[in-house]
Structures are given as C-alpha cells and as structure tokens.
Amino acid sequence: MRKILLKSLREYKREAILAPFFVILEVFLEVLIPFMMTKIIDVGIMEKNLPYVLRLGLILVLMAIASLIFGVAAGRTAAIAGAGYGKNLRHDIFYKVQDFSFQNIDHYSSSGLVTRMTTDTTNIQMAFMMTIRILTRTPIMMILSLFMAININKNIASLFLVGVILLAGGLGIIVKVVHPYFRKVFQSYDTLNQVVQENVRGARVVKAYVREDYEIDKFKDVSSLVYRLYTTAQKIVAWNGPLMQFTMYLVILAIFLIGGKAIAYGNMKIGELTAIMVYAMQILISLMMVTFVFVLNIISSASADRIEEILREEPSLANPKHPKGDVKQGDIQFDHVNFRYKNEGKKYILNDINFSIHEGETIGIIGGTGSGKSTLVQLIPRLYDVTEGRILVGGIDVRDYDLTTLRDKVAMVLQKNTLFTGTIKDNIRWGNQEATDEEVQEVCKLAKAHDFIKEFPKGYDTTITQGGTNVSGGQKQRLCIARALLKKPKILILDDSMSAVDTKTESEIRHGLMNHLPNTTKIIISQRISSIEDADRIIVIHEGRIHGFGTSQELLKTNHIYREIYETQLEGGDRLEG
C-alpha cells in the first residue's frame, strides 16, 4: 500500500498491527498441528502407545482452539482496521476536495470525484483488509511449512519451491497485462456516473423533449463499454484459477509418487508423508488465497492511482504567509487584469480589464454570452486567480487576504445556485449559522421570499428536497439571495441570479437592496436592460474586454453595443413586463 494512502490509517494503526500479529500466532499453531499429528501416528498409533496418543491429542485440541481464537481475533481487528481506513480515506478525499479551487475542480468531473469516494475507496478498503490478513499469512505459512517439510524430507520439500516459482511467474504476467484494463474500467465508471447524474437531474427536460430513447441509448453505449472492458479484464484474471489448480495438482501428484516410493523402500514413515501432504495443502491453499488478494490488488491498484491523484493535487489557491484578516471596505479596483484558464492555451478570457468601483455603488454588467461576465466577478472572491495584473478590495490585493475572510465578505449568488437537502431555515443559515429566526425572516423579506415561504404548511421548517426540486426556479433564486444577504457582505454579486424572477418582483428586490444596503457594493449581472438600467454605473463587456463603462444615459450616447441591446429589448416589450 502506498505511503500517501497509508496516512489515512491514523487511529486504526493499532488494529492494523494487531491483525497481522494474531495471524502470525494462528499460522504458527496451524504449522505445529501437522507435526503433532505425525508424532501421534508414527509414535502413538504405530507403537500402540495409548497414553501418548491421549496426551498429544489433548495438546492438539488445545492448539486447535487457540488457533481458532487467534483467527477470530485476526478477522475482527482486520475488519475494524479496514472499515476505519475506508472511513478515514473518504474523509481525507472529501476534505481535500473542499480545499480545491474552481480550477482544481474543473480538472475533475463531479462524477469522477464521486466514484473516487465510493467505488475506488471501497476497492482499496477491501484490498487493505485482505492484505493485512492474507498477505501476512501466506509468506509466514510458506516459510514455516517449508521449514517443517525440509526437516522431514528435503527432496519432497524442493517440489514446493518449483510450484511457488511457477505460480508467482504466472501471476506476475497476469498482473502486468490486466492493470491497464482495470484503469480504463474506472474511467468508464466516471462517464457512466455522469450520464446517470445528468439524466436524473434533467429528468424534466428529458421528458419535456421526449428524449428518453436518446438517453437510454447513451446509457447503453457507456454501460456496454464498461461491460466490454470489465469482461476483457476478468477473462485475463480468469487464468489465475486454472493456473493455481494445475500447480496444486502437479505438486500433489509429485509428492505422492516420490513419497510413496520412499515409504515402500522404508525411507519415510506414513505419518511423515501425511504431514508433508498437509504442509503442501497449507502452502498451496495459502497461495490460492493470495491469488484472490492479488486480483483485489490489481483492481485496487487502478483505484489507488485515481485516489492518489486527488490527494497529491495541490490547490491552485492558498493563503499567503501573513494574510490580512479583515476586509474593511467594499471598494474594488481591477488593475490591468488578464485571465485565462490554465488548460486553455494562450487565449485570454479577459483582456486588460481596468476599472474602479466605489464602496456602496450599484454596478450593472451586461454583455453577450461567453463575453467573460461571470469569469470577471469570480475573480473578486478568488474563486480563480488572475493570470496577470491585480484586483484590489478595500485597497488590498485579494491575494493578500485570508481566503475565508475574503469570501465571507464577498457574497455571490449564481444563476444556477444550489439548495441543499434540509429545511428552508437551514439553507438560509448557510450565510450565518448563528443567525436568529428574526434575522432569517428579515433577509427573506428583503429577497421577497418570506410570503411564499409562509404559504408552505411548515413555513421555514419546510424540507427542501435534493437540488431544490420542490421549489420553482424563481423561488430558489430568491432563497439563494436571502442566504447571501444573511452574510452581511461588503460586496454582493448577483450573477444573473434573478433571471427566473418576474420583472416586478425583481424591481422590488433591487430597490430593497439599494435602500437597506447603502454601504454594500452591489454588482448585478443581467441580460435584461431593465435589471441594470437604474444602476449607478454599467459595465459593457464584449469578447473579454471592457467596451463601455458609465451610466445608462452616457452609454446610450457613446456605446453602440449597449444602445443596440437597449433598443432591441424596448422594441420587444421588455419595459412593459413590469
């Protein structure tokens, strides 16, 4: 097992050490039992010494009971160590992901992360539990059994070595060939999980567009790929059983031939041949068990690669050595900011962004799809870091702040924000776990969510289902706005987060924010002119560049992009919706 993965043992190290210890005691007694049987047969039975048979028989029974006790203890401690190790490993992966930036998360699919914390971790847990029992047992059993067999007959004992070498060579070839297939299997599991997640989350869209057959075919293709890869891998692993059986029968046959001849010539006793046969079975059965563990380790090796990749991933964002612990002001300055995603080549998403926002201002942002609006605001709370230039909040570079402090003071509401399973009250208190019921209701009134919440039979104690499927899109957005307001932020960013709200309610929310949060800097991204027209100033973004910055009236005179959007939406009756 790899060092970085073994770090997850922690408080279960004791059980992980005790399990092999009990296995060693169990094996030691199992190896002595055939030796005692030899004495009973060759000395007690052959010489008709009944007291000797009874005395050694009693010792044999006590040894068998002790071996049973040690075996149970080994199984119990191995189970505790394995289950605890799996628990800690899932914990470590989950906590590691919590430290990931958006850039790190972009590198892995959500389905891939889920597979790593479930299927991959289970594979490693099972392999670890079997390893500390079986792979501890096998070498000790082989060494002790071989030592005892050599004391009885060196020539016959040499047959064991031939069998072990033959089997080990075959297993080595199987492992080398099959490992790449299992790695592809788990990569396909990621895709399979993604298809299932998308289908379940988008069930309403699938049914609305009558795309069930398309989704079934997509699932069938991915499922068939997993089947083909797994079948190919298992066909290779299937050679393990016949190879084991062939080796075992070959060794037993050779022992019978050589041992029978030795007994006929008086060079070996029946009890000695019996003991050697038991030692042969012990060695070969141990090898058969270890081949099972080898299969688990082949599978878990691919899983270990994937988990190790997560644990070794360095978060692209980290606190400075001496972070600033307080955001005193909500003014913002973009100073010659350029940005590109790491894996997107040399193309910049944002180019030479320069502007300043005063504390308490309401700033609107508008632009076409893919122009960089969301990317721009995600740089403020350091969800990504700038590629070049700097962003100042309260006169301090955002990279100099403590990340938790900065993000506590910059509240961001996305268009597709998420509600979690739990009550409405619990979801809103994500913004402040210590908030009172009165504070929760106050922000809900400000976000125009209080009225529809009270219509639910349980009010604020109404349970939100997974993904918030039991509330409408507009209700979900208003709950997310209330959650952000509860943080009492210095900067509030609404990234197209009222797109599902009717224009009348949206207007009431905007005016409420302006009146109740005069000192909070408010940034509103929207595709609707009516949502940002009354902002203090408006930023027009086009193809990653600032194309205009000013009041609505100024932009109507100086910026043709803003003017075109304005005229198009007015002609479309957008103003009349309110």
Question: What's the residue count for the chain?
Answer: 578
Handedness of CA 504, 509, 515, 519 (dihedral sign): negative
Token match 């600032």: residue?
546
Token code pair at residue 472: 């409408």
Section 234-238 average pLDDT: 80
Give pLDDT, residue 43. 72
Q: Give the pLDDT score at 176.
A: 78
Alpha helices, DSSP H, located in 120-211? 121-130, 136-152, 154-201, 203-208
Highest-confidence segment of 337-351, 437-451, 492-506: 437-451
Token couple for 105: 């998360």
Helix axes 270-312, 50-98, angle to 10 degrees: 10
For residue 137, give both structure tokens.
């047992």
Q: What is the pLDDT of residues 206-215, one digit of tens each?
A: 766 677 788 8
- Rounded CA separation 72/344 (Å): 56
Q: Could you tell me if 78 and 132 are in contact, meaning their C-beta atoms sit under 8 angstroms apart?
A: yes
Instruction: Mark residue 382 as left, alpha or beta (left: phi above 0; alpha: psi -120 to 50; beta: remaining).
Output: left
- The per-residue pLDDT for range 295-319, each reduced to its tens digit, is 777 778 878 888 998 998 888 788 8
Q: What is the mean pLDDT of residues 134-138?
A: 81
**Percentage of the chain with pLDDT > 70?**
95
Q: Give which of 521, 444, 531 is closest to 480, Cα–Cα.
A: 444
Calculate mean pLDDT across residues 339-356. 84
Residue 1's pLDDT is what?
A: 58
- Using CA atoms, how far residue 291 sits from 121, 277, 298, in Å, is 21, 21, 10
Is the pLDDT confidence value at 572 over 70?
Answer: no
- Rounded to whole angstroms, the Cα distance separating 355 from 189 reads 46
Any alpha helices (H) in 410-466, and if so which ranges?
424-428, 437-446, 450-455
For the entire predicted model, the pTM comes to 0.68
Q: Is 572 left (phi over 0), alpha (psi -120 to 50) or beta?
A: alpha
For the chain, the straight-line distance linking the first and the last C-alpha, in angstroms and rounded, comes to 64
**What is the rounded distance in angstroms from the CA atom of residue 338 to the CA atom of residue 322?**
25
- pLDDT one-digit tens code per residue, 444-482: 999 999 999 999 999 999 998 877 778 888 889 899 999
Kindly indicate the confidence band of residue 571, based on its pLDDT and cuts at 50, 70 and 90: low
Stretch among 39-48, 333-342, 395-404 having the lowest mean pLDDT: 39-48
